Amino acid sequence: MTKKSYLITSFILAIGILLTMNSYWQEVTKIPLRDFFKNPDKTYYQISPDGEYLSYLAPYESRLNIFVQKIGSDEIVRVTDITDRDLGGYYWANNDMLLFGKDKDGDENYHVYGVDKEGKNLKDLTPFEDVTVRIIDELEDFDSEVLISMNKRNKEIFDVYRLNIETGELKMVAENPGNVSGWVTDHNGKIRIARTTDGVNTSLLYRETEEDPFETILTTNFKESIYPLFFTFDNKYIYAASNLGRDKSAIVKYDIADGKELEVLYEHPEVDVYGLHYSKKSKKLTSISYTTWKRQREYLDKDVEALFKKLEKELGTDLEIVITGMNKNEDKFLVRTYSDRSLGAYYFYDLNSDKLTKLTDVSPWLNEDDLVEMKPISYKSRDGLTINGYLTLPKGKEPKNLPVVINPHGGPWARDSWGFNPEVQFLANRGFAVLQMNFRGSTGYGKAFWEASFKEWGKKMQDDITDGVQWLIEEGIADPDRIGIYGGSYGGYATLAGLAFTPDLYTCGVDYVGVSNLFTFYKAIPPYWKPHLENWYEMVGSPEKDSLLLVEISPVFHVDKIKAPLFVAQGKHDPRVNIEESDQIVEALKKKGIDVPYMVKEDEGHGFRNEENRFDFYEAMEKFLVKHLNSKVN
């Protein structure tokens, strides 16, 4: 080879390498932290039953409040002026009135409030101290009534009442004998089904009318269930998600009076199926939904399928598209989009004019081109289970020897899914790879996978997380000397367990409202959790029968093994994970001589809802992770 040809060949190879590495060396935009965690400009759109008004949540004095706008008009009315805490769920009770729930400082004792669409006549419809209210049925066909349950009579159990939203009058329609864990209404708003539990066994009760006594139709161990979704349109049978005689829950049609399965509508070989959707107006089943690595749909109605195909054509097939609301006539729809890199947008679709109108981007200050993909992954646990999860890699870096944040989800009987996660995108923007995994016990993967988690807190469940870390190291993605772990609730427990039981694996940890001591956790749970305690004892361990196990898996008893730095955050009024859980782990580590940054928010509960508290938490977490994982801030 001549010198000239050698130089040309070397030049071509160099150009090829540069092109290959271009995706790694592209410029990275450092996004302001608050852009990830501030309240959206507008979100949670709803439409009035008559289709004449739109409502949404938007900030007022840094708190999300309800605003109403007549369709086609520029006039906007703020109907609430709450300044102590963001509002969460709300809905149109009728064409003139909206209902919303509100607690105090995160105590989860929710009251139901009503306000008219002009912002007048605001009233607390359930003004009872230390009582929490749940909506059972919105009673769409009854403009002045709603069906609620509350623990007013007995703090441990919930009775059902018809609430007149105009007068505030309450009428009990079902008294809980002490073991009812859930109620199901028919399409006329009548309570026809009750689910009971003794903590271990679950029964399905049925009655023909509200005047008849309930009769037990079926009793199973809590590991098996038939979960009623809704009645057939003639109110004779039910559609349900059932894992009776199968590992994965399937959508079935069930004769509730005789306790017989009539038909399997849909089942999937790999995941549970829970979602069944219908049109109340046309009385037709429309679609079935389930989640593999992301949401999937099976269409049962050609008109609904055509609508989604049209929306996909206009909005893009790479987005998740969800119909979030419609008017009573079902000819005006609210559509929400999102993806792993965007909180998406809201749209208004008028079926009559076939017009799709964009209402707002949820977070227009975030450019999805600056964000990164959340990629599905899987790996094998040490005992052979397939663990599914998601890996998010930082932009502008070769995926080798990266600082990593392991992020186990809460629950633990929940799961991570594909979509926009502000925490994950924030961490990736700061140069960290983020691994989320659906360890054993995560929901959606069948009965056997769920049961594999029983009495395995801190043991095989934690091994699944550890095996994910080892997979990242073996793949060369993770720098073994720069691995942190962060999680909330059960994820906070998993953080503490990771530092205590695998002390050489993690460089640091962040515990957000996590359990540290199973004994004190049980003692401090809200009264209305007590009917489920036996169930928890079966799945996690009993403080009496399994006391040695609880000592073994409670991180607070193993602080002598913890050597990595830890940052702890807690809401003072958390009713689920009492502040004592964080207090005692912090105190135990301080006695050991370890400096534990500890953030307590006086006006929060199980997680920080108010944005100034979110800002404080994530700013502190960023400094902590950067300090201990030695990651360069972009």
Active-site annotation, residues = 489, 574, 606
**Measured at the alpha carbon of residue 114, what is the angle toward residues 113 and 118, in degrees to the nearest 5?**
140
Residue 232 CB partners (closer than 8 Å, separation 6+): 238, 239, 253
Instruction: Name the nearest CA neighbour of 289 among 261, 251, 338.
Output: 251
Instruction: Round to whole Å and give the CA distance between 270 and 438.
Output: 14
113 burial via Cβ count (<10 Å: 0-12, 13-18, 19+): buried
Buried b (16+ CB within 10 A) or exposed e, 17-43: eeeeeeeeeeebeebebebbbbbbebb
Neighbours of 469 (CB within 10 A): 21
Instruction: Round to whole Å and give the CA distance between 91 and 363.
Output: 22
Instruction: Name the nearest CA neighbour of 634 among 29, 25, 26.
Output: 29
| DSSP H helices in 566-610 | 579-591
Instruction: Round to whole Å and give the CA distance between 469 and 434.
Output: 11
Is the previous residue joined to 412 through a cis bond, with omega within 30 degrees of 0?
A: yes
93: tokens are 């009770």
Task: Report helix, strand or coil for 511.
Answer: strand
Residue 138 CB partners (closer than 8 Å, separation 6+): 91, 93, 146, 147
